[in-house]
Structure 1
Amino acid sequence: MMHSVGHYRPICQAAYQNDFGQVWRWVREDSKYINIQDGFNGDTPLICACRRGHLRIVSFLLRRNADVNLKNQVSKTKQNETLVRMLLDAGVDVNAADCYGCTALYYACEMKNQTLIPLLLEAQADPTIRNKNGESSLDIARRLKFSQIELMLRKAS
């Protein structure tokens, strides 16, 4: 039984699979499910929904005051402008880093996501934060020769 879907909690599974009804049912049953962390990698239902870009579930969880700063939400987000905006409006820490020390801005630069970068910079994302390999967002833009992005980051730093 344990091995059917990794160690995913049912609500995390439902959020991941975009099963809105199921998520709603769990939360209605007990509000502590909103921020429950998955035994496997500590993901919350919010992170699971973010990974897949399920906007309706994300906005439902945020309206129910899901904790946006439990773990590092933004860098795990499917790089989707609407989604990132929702998290930023909900007060997510834009400079939170994941276990590799990478921030959302770092990933946005790596993926050359030019709609997201200005959005993150506007929210005070710091292009000089270094990850565990000592590389910052600015460094990665330079290394990958994304000159437009490098210019944006320079203006911000």
Structure 2
Amino acid sequence: MDESILWVTAVVDRRAALDKRDKKRQARARKLGILVVDEPSVGTEQGNECVNQRVANIQAEEHVRHVIVDLGGAENIIELRMKNKKNKNKVAASKGLMDVPMVLVGPEEFIKAAAQGKMEVVEKFLEDGGDPNTCDEFRKTALHRAALENHAKIVEKLLDKDADINFKDRLDCRAVHWACRGGSLSALKVLQDRGADINVRDKLLSSPLHVATRTGHSDVVQHLLACGININAKDCEGDTALHDAVRLNRYKIVKLLILAGADMQIKNAEGITATEQVKQWQFDTKETLEKLDQMREVGLA
């Protein structure tokens, strides 16, 4: 394996381990009731103000918590039970209504039903001659919403009824973008089987790979890479998916992209490469380790 790849993966693993360790430290400190302050300005006037503000925030939260407890006596419990009973009645009523043939399903109900996975409502709208490409004010269609929520069966139904697989919302996002944003692997595969292009771009020139990377869906990223997506595609800021993954600390995705052959030397609009971003990671990791050593000496780590 190339030395640069070995170096990056080693830094990624170390950074991920350090972040995990830092989260455990913070959780332990909270459990012990220790106020953890990470700002380097502690001890200065600015640092003291920061500490005082955090203490004030904690005190305010505690005050609100006590008020809620004080006001949450028997009356609130009774009211809560009454609300739960009403909600149960509403659910029962809605189930009863579903047994009665619906007279009409409007466009808004149709799009909402697609997002909620209500196949019978979607079918009713389409059977009555409704336009499968009906969209909301943001030009999001039922196909977009179903893809986002991973309702693969509804995606199939809509496509069977001639829903436009390339319909663009206001940001030129297609259904594949929405599937990747939601981490909806099943819906994504249906769209691909029906001919969706996984290399399409939105108005910001983001590809589905950019979207899946930013939202942290590593399984979708892995699938897209296996399907041969353009791994080095740049968005409007010149960032590749690898730039995004490093910037957002998506450790697993960074490794997936690098091992799949992502170019670490591509410069974005600011002239920065992913390799330079990782070097900054390495520098930050060193600083964090030094800070942890200092905290260990006083029993906080």
TM-score (norm. length: structure 1): 0.80
Does residue 7 of structure 1 match 2:7?
Answer: no
Distance 1:146 1:126 in 2: 23
- C-alpha change, 1:97 and 1:37, in structure 2 (3 Å) is farther
What CA deviation, in whole Å up to 9, does each residue of 1:5-35 have, x standing for no partner? 51213311221233333311121123x723x
Distance 1:129 1:13 in 2: 34
Distance 2:196 2:245 in 1: 24
Does residue 109 of structure 1 match 2:241?
Answer: no
Q: Which residue is equivalent to 1:76?
A: 211
Q: Which residue is equivalent to 1:137?
A: 274
Does residue 28 of structure 1 match 2:160?
Answer: yes
CA apart distance, 1:82: 1.4
CA contact (8 A) 1:68 1:91 kept: no
CA contact (8 A) 1:127 1:136 kept: yes
Distance 2:167 2:239 in 1: 21
Percent of residue pairs identical: 25
- C-alpha change, 1:22 and 1:118, in structure 2 (3 Å) is same
- C-alpha change, 1:86 and 1:109, in structure 2 (3 Å) is same
Does residue 54 of structure 1 match 2:191?
Answer: no
Query: Which structure would you say has the larger RCO, counting Cα contacts within 8 Å and 6 or more residues apart?
Result: 1
CA contact (8 A) 2:218 2:253 kept: yes
Q: Which residue is equivalent to 1:92?
A: 229
**Aligned pairs (5 A) from 1:114-133:** 114-133=251-270
Counterpart residue identity of residue 49, structure 1: A
Counterpart residue identity of residue 121, structure 1: I
Counterpart residue identity of residue 208, structure 2: Q
CA apart distance, 1:4: 4.2
CA apart distance, 1:46: 0.8
What CA deviation, in whole Å up to 9, does each residue of 1:68-110 have, x standing for no partner? 1111111111322211111111111000111221111111111
CA apart distance, 1:63: 2.7
Q: Which residue is equivalent to 2:27?
A: none
Counterpart residue identity of residue 259, structure 2: E
Counterpart residue identity of residue 164, structure 2: Y
Q: Which residue is equivalent to 1:16?
A: 148
Q: Which residue is equivalent to 1:155?
A: none
CA contact (8 A) 2:135 2:141 kept: no
Flag the structure with higher helix content. Answer: 2
CA apart distance, 1:112: 2.1
Structure possessing the higher radius of gyration over alpha carbons: 2
CA apart distance, 1:147: 6.1
Distance 1:19 1:61 in 2: 12
CA contact (8 A) 1:112 1:146 kept: no
Matched residue SS, 2:138? strand
Distance 1:106 1:64 in 2: 31
What CA deviation, in whole Å up to 9, does each residue of 1:23-82 have, x standing for no partner? 11121123x723x14131111111101011112111222233321111111111132221
* Structure 1, gaps ≥5 residues long: 149-157
Matched residue SS, 1:13? helix
Counterpart residue identity of residue 181, structure 2: R
Give the root-mean-square deviation of aligned CA atoms: 2.4
Matched residue pairs, number?
146
